[in-house]
Amino acid sequence: MSFGQLPYDLAHLFGGAVLLLSFVLLYQRRISAVINAFATQGALLALAAAWQGYVQGAMGLYVTAAIAFGAKAVLIPLALHRLVRRFNLQRGVDPALGIGASMIAGVAFAGFALLVVLPATAGQRALAREDLALALSVVLLGGLMMITRRNLISQVIGLLSLENGLILAAVGVAGMPLVMELSTAALVLMLAVIAGVFALQMGESFQSLDTESLDTHRGEGE
């Protein structure tokens, strides 16, 4: 399987699209737009997983795709939108690092991922290698988003987007045991639930979802 063949090209297209959405996440300025971009990424991830299921003939990956779609394209975004409305948080994402600088850092991260993964996996199939490189880029961009956003919802979405990268890596490696994907998918739900609980509680105690309000509570006094 190589360049110019449909299974390869489509797998690449979907993987690349997931990565593209990671960049889209980085330059959104409104919370609701960030959530929508995350939902799109979840849907694309589901497509990527389903396509891999078709190519590898692995039924389990369809389940992974369905879980990814249900949780990441529908349920989690809905829950986050609800959270934003309930606490009246329709405001900016409050980046700690400017949008332009974040994008440059993002490009650097993606380049870094390619440089690291491609030589290190030289012995494997081309598709698996490039899939891993794309996935690592998504993981790193998710991490970048967690670092460069002060807003709590954005940070949580950074973490969730990072998990998208993990699923992308897992579905790209043929024969990865299913137990893993299921547990990962279930985990994302749990993460979101707990994060939601946190967000709610912090909303109660601070009337704000800005992690900066936490920085004063060092617990140790100055």
Partner 1 sequence: MMPLPWIMVFFPWVGSLVLLALPRLRVAAAVNIGCAAVSFGLALGLFTLPHGEQGWTRIDALNLPFVLLASFVALTTSIFSAATLAAEGFDHWRIRAYHGAFQVFLGAQYLALLSDNLGVLWVAIEIATLASVLMVAVHRTPAAMEAAWKFFILCGFGIALALFGTILLYSAAQTLLDAETGLSWVALKRVAAQCDADTLNLAFVFLLVGFGTKAGLVPLHSWLPDAHAEGPVTISAVLSGLLLNAAMLAILRAKAIVGAHPDTLSVGPLLMALGLASVLLAALALWRRRDARRFFGWSSIEHMGIAALAFGIGGAAATLAGLLHMIGHSLVKSAIFFGIGRAAQQKGSQKLADISGLVASDPSLGWGLALAIGAIAGLPPFLLFASEYAVLNAAMAAQPWLAVVLALGLVVAMTALIHTLQALCFGEATPDVAPGGSTLAVLVPLWLHLAVALLLGLAMPALFSSFLKAAAGMIG
- 179-187 long-range contacts (CB < 8 A, ≥24 apart) are 181/60, 181/61, 181/63, 181/64, 181/67, 182/63, 182/64, 182/67, 185/64, 185/67, 185/68, 185/71, 186/67, 187/163
The tokens describing 61, both together, are 């990956």
Min dist CB 24 to partner 1, Å, is 20
Stretch 98-117 residues interacting with partner 1 (CB under 8 A): 116-117
Identity of the amino acid at 164: N
Cβ contact 77:165 at 8 Å:
no
Min dist CB 198 to partner 1, Å, is 6
Cβ contact 46:68 at 8 Å:
yes
Chain position carrying tokens 């609701």? 32
Sketch the per residue contact string, 144 through 163, with partner 1: x for CB under 8 A, - otherwise: --x--------x---x--xx
Under rule CB under 8 A, residue 73 binds partner 1: no
Min dist CB 180 to partner 1, Å, is 4
- Nearer to partner 1 by Cβ, of 31 and 135: the residue is 135
Stretch 126-145 residues interacting with partner 1 (CB under 8 A): 128, 132, 135-136, 139, 142-143
Q: Pick the closest to residue 134 from 181, 169, 180 (CA basis).
A: 169
* The one segment of 5-13, 37-45, 64-72, 184-192 that binds partner 1 by CB under 8 A: 184-192
Under rule CB under 8 A, residue 201 binds partner 1: yes
Under rule CB under 8 A, residue 59 binds partner 1: no
Q: Cα(71)–Cα(50) distance, rounded to whole angstroms? A: 15
Give the binding site for partner 1 (CB under 8 A). Answer: 116-117, 119-124, 128, 132, 135-136, 139, 142-143, 146, 155, 159, 162-163, 165-166, 169-170, 173-177, 179-180, 183-184, 187, 190-191, 194-195, 198, 201-202, 205-206, 211, 214, 217-221
